[in-house]
């Protein structure tokens, strides 16, 4: 029988305080998430200082929850995995300090995990048979990357955004049309009532790096459109704006991903990150993968947005490779994928 490695994982890089217990990188025993979204809503975005304080208040409770739901105690854990970057430094520090204290007190190995590696690994939880290599589009509030997953823990970034992340563009446009934070799910919902072809918003291409993304142009085009309507005194159909903006972003994400898959001869394509729960992106990618003969993978929404189960999956593969972090592990707010 295969040995069971239980990882206790901790994630506090942004506005979710999360802990989980994952077995062998594939099976979730518990996935406890305290979302701070409501707290940040009145400010229209995440306030770093408030996020750090709330993490401190909630972290112990969330970890206790994760262990209790898994039906185990800290003694039964084989290793502790924690996100150490990228993210908000004060927020990351809460998770890192907690993980270090627990690892020291219980004499357990500590494994520092890259947040994006976590997002990608959410696919291992959803699809127990998925194996690398595959191409993964990681689209979240802070990142828009195309990552070639060569093997477990081996990544090559083949494209990245030159300016805004996809989720950031969703959040900014949502604010401009009065939908509030976080904008992605709200635009997703409103877009269903609008016409995606009502307004054309330009899709940018970077000549010297055609797979890279740029979303600030689309966002500015939406803001210009809203301003010009206001100046002319014309009413704005918010559902049409949401649907047309969403289509522009989804077109770009889908086209670049499929081009990269074809260039790299990848037949497995996955999504990850908060924007991966967007319904229009999922259906466009499903159709594009079908047309190009690729298998398509995407985690369920709760595993797309920030959670600790994905950190437990990534942490397991790092642990198996022998990666161990010392008690000098520090938060690295701008950690690059593939850096140690
Ligand atoms: O992965 P995540 O929870 O945090 C980061 O690591 O950034 O992603 C959050 C982002 C936010 O920008 C949010 O607006 C976006 O993901 N998002 C969505 C949807 N759900 C969340 N964007 C588009 N459509 C959605 N359904
Ligand atoms: Zn994230």
**Is residue 142 in contact with ligand 1, taking CB distance under 6 Å?**
yes
Q: How many Å lie between the centroid of ligand 2 and the Cα of residue 82?
A: 13
pLDDT for 339:
63
41 plus 142 within the same structural domain: no
Assigned domain for 288 exists: yes
Q: How many Å lie between the centroid of ligand 2 and the Cα of residue 275?
A: 10
Assigned domain for 169 exists: yes
For 94-120, what is each residue's pLDDT tens digit?
Answer: 999 999 999 999 999 999 999 999 999
How much is the average pLDDT of 244-265?
98
CATH of the domain at 92: 3.30.420.40
For 300-310, what is each residue's pLDDT tens digit?
Answer: 999 999 999 99
**Is residue 86 in contact with ligand 1, taking CB distance under 6 Å?**
no
Q: How many Å lie between the centroid of ligand 1 and the Cα of residue 25?
A: 23
282 plus 313 within the same structural domain: no
Which residue has its alpha carbon closest to ligand 1 atom 23?
184
For 27-83, what is each residue's pLDDT tens digit?
Answer: 999 999 999 988 998 888 889 999 999 999 999 999 999 999 999 999 999 999 999
Q: How many domains does the chain have?
A: 2
145 plus 118 within the same structural domain: no
112 plus 150 within the same structural domain: no
233 plus 86 within the same structural domain: no
What predicted TM-score, i.e. pTM, was given to this entire model? 0.96
189 plus 117 within the same structural domain: no
Of the candidates 44, 18, 271, which has an alpha carbon nearest to the alpha carbon of residue 143? 271
Whether residue 297 contacts residue 271, with contact meaning beta carbons closer than 8 Å, is answered with yes
Atom of ligand 1 nearest to the CA of 140: 8
Judged on CB neighbours under 10 Å (0-12, 13-18, 19+), 258 is buried
> In which band, very low, low, confident or very high, does the pLDDT at 340 lie, cut at 50, 70 and 90?
low
Assigned domain for 337 exists: no
**Is residue 126 in contact with ligand 1, taking CB distance under 6 Å?**
no
90 plus 149 within the same structural domain: no
117 plus 151 within the same structural domain: no
> In which band, very low, low, confident or very high, does the pLDDT at 1 lie, cut at 50, 70 and 90?
low
Radius of gyration of the chain (CA): 20
Instruction: Give the DSSP H/E element, type plus range, for residue 67.
Output: helix 48-70
Assigned domain for 331 exists: no
For 320-339, what is each residue's pLDDT tens digit?
Answer: 999 999 999 999 999 999 76
For 34, the domain range is 6-122+304-320
Distance CA 17, CA 336 (A): 22
Could you tell me the CA-to-CA distances from 300 to 126, 292, 304, 320 in Å, in that order? 7, 23, 6, 26
pLDDT above 90 covers a percentage of the chain that reads 94
Q: What is the DSSP letter of 5?
A: P
For 154-196, what is each residue's pLDDT tens digit?
Answer: 999 999 999 999 999 999 999 999 998 889 999 999 999 999 9
Assigned domain for 193 exists: yes
Of the candidates 269, 156, 260, which has an alpha carbon nearest to the alpha carbon of residue 212? 260
Assigned domain for 110 exists: yes
147 plus 195 within the same structural domain: yes
Q: What is the DSSP letter of 181?
A: S
**Is residue 14 in contact with ligand 1, taking CB distance under 6 Å?**
yes
Pocket test residue of 181, 275, 284 for ligand 1, highest count of atoms within 8 A of CB? 275
Assigned domain for 69 exists: yes
Assigned domain for 107 exists: yes
99 plus 176 within the same structural domain: no
231 plus 269 within the same structural domain: yes
DSSP 3-state assignment of 28?
strand
Q: How many Å lie between the centroid of ligand 2 and the Cα of residue 84?
A: 12
82 plus 154 within the same structural domain: no
DSSP 3-state assignment of 112?
strand
pLDDT for 305:
96
Tell whether the model's pLDDT for residue 215 goes beyond 80. yes
How much is the average pLDDT of 212-228?
96
pLDDT for 45:
87
């Amino acid at each position: 029988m295969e040995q069971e490695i239980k990882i206790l994982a901790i994630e506090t890089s942004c506005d979710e305080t999360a802990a989980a217990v994952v077995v062998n990188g594939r099976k979730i025993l518990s996935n406890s998430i305290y979302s701070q979204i409501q707290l940040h809503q009145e400010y229209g975005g995440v306030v770093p200082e408030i996020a750090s304080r709330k993490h401190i208040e909630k972290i112990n409770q969330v970890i206790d929850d994760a262990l209790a739901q898994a039906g185990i105690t800290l003694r039964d854990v084989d290793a502790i995995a924690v996100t150490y970057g990228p993210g908000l430094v004060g927020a990351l520090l809460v998770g890192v300090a907690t993980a270090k204290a627990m690892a020291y007190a219980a004499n357990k190995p500590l494994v520092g995990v890259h947040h994006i590696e976590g997002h990608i690994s959410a696919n291992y939880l959803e699809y127990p048979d998925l194996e690398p290599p595959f191409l993964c589009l990681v689209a979240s509030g802070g990142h828009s990357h195309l990552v070639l997953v060569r093997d477990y823990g081996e990544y090559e970034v083949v494209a990245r955004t030159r300016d805004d992340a996809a989720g950031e563009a969703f959040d900014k446009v949502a604010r401009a049309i009065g939908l509030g934070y976080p904008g992605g799910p709200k635009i997703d919902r409103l877009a269903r009532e609008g016409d995606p072809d009502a307004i054309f918003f330009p899709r940018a291409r970077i000549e010297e790096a055609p797979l890279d993304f740029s979303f600030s142009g689309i966002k500015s085009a939406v803001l210009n459109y809203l301003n010009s309507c206001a100046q002319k005194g014309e009413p704005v159909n918010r559902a049409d704006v949401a649907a047309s903006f969403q289509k522009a972003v989804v077109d770009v994400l889908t086209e670049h991903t499929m081009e990269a898959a074809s260039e790299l001869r990848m037949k497995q394509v996955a999504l990850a990150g908060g924007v991966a729960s967007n319904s229009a992106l999922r259906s466009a990618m499903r159709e594009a993968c079908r047309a190009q003969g690729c298998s398509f993978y995407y985690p369920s929404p709760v595993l797309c947005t920030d959670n600790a189960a994905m950190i437990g999956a990534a942490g397991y593969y790092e642990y198996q490779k022998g990666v161990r972090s010392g008690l000098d592990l520090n938060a690295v707010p701008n950690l690059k994928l593939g850096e140690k």
